[in-house]
Amino acid sequence: MSSIKRIDVEHLKVSCKECNLRELCFPHGMSDDELSNMDAVVEQPKALHKNDFLYRDGDKSQAIFAVRSGCVKTMTESANGDEQIVGFHLPGELLGLDGFADDSYTCNAVALETSSVCELPLDQLETLCHQVPGLQKQMRRIMGKEVSNDHKLLLLLGKMTAEERLASFLLSLSGRMEERHWKENEFNLSMPRQDIANYLGMAVETVSRLFATFQSEKIIDVDRRHITILDMHRLKVIVGECEPSK
């Protein structure tokens, strides 16, 4: 069925060169010349509606993607059907790297809200790596980041209490807001409680209760999906990043 609404495509037509996410994304550190090569290869952004799949577990992997706007979650599926969200990808962040393993993706990627993603076809990536010196290293950097990011998440799931997990999640979001020069202590969650719970390996009810606790302790203010961090320091104390102040 065709949708009545049409996503405005005008604002999507932005070259890497002009993209304000440039430094967070693939083009990080590239020269103007290199960016031109990049632009020649990157497809114009794909529009996604909420709940659209960008790719599915098992699909042949033909590209990696960069989120241009919105938010995309990736999740793995187990033999007995339950799912684990392994990442929420904000603008400038990449996804699809799991597809390198054996030419097909090993997880599902789903838009949490109306989003757009830039596409970098794999066959052209090959060529591009020869044209752009240092791109190979860039690729490695990006994959290394993915790996060490996953390791942090393993630590979270393996060793942290529910309270620490949620605090850690909020701090991670806050840090990424800051990277994007958005407000680091006030932002909207693009995912429902259910997805936060899944990602953090706990029950929705626990997420809800912890939000309530944090709020009553004046650490954050929660209004539906809108989060205001009132006491960053105390959040850091919870995850052990800071000593409790006197």
The sign of the CA dihedral 177, 92, 151, 199 is positive
Which parts of 161-180 interact with a second copy (CB under 8 A)? none
Binds 101: which of a second copy, DNA, none (CB < 5-8 Å by kind): a second copy
User: Which one of 157, 222, 232, 237 is in contact with DNA (CB under 7 A)?
Assistant: 222
| Three-state SS letters, 56-120 | CCCCECCEEEEEEECCEEEEEECCCCCEEEEEEECCCCEECHHHHCCCECCCEEEECCCEEEEEE
Options 31-39, 42-50, 97-105, 180-188: segment touching a second copy (CB under 8 A): 97-105
Tell me: does residue 201 bind DNA (CB under 7 A): yes
Q: How many CA atoms, within 13 angstroms, populate the side-chain half-sphere of residue 18?
A: 5
Among residues 96, 211, 227, 229, which is the contact residue for DNA, using CB under 7 A? Answer: 211
Cα distances (angstroms) measured from residue 46 to each of 17, 68, 241:
18, 9, 39
Q: Residue 238: in which H helix or E strand, if any?
A: helix 232-239
- The contact mask relative to a second copy for 120-159 (x = CB under 8 A, - = no) is ------x--x------xx-xxx-xxxxxx-xxxxxx-xxx
Contacts to DNA by CB under 7 A: 161-163, 192-194, 201-209, 211-212, 222, 224-225
Task: Please give the residue ranges that form the binding site for a second copy (CB under 8 A).
Answer: 76, 78-84, 86, 97-102, 106-107, 126, 129, 136-137, 139-141, 143-148, 150-155, 157-160, 198-201, 239-241
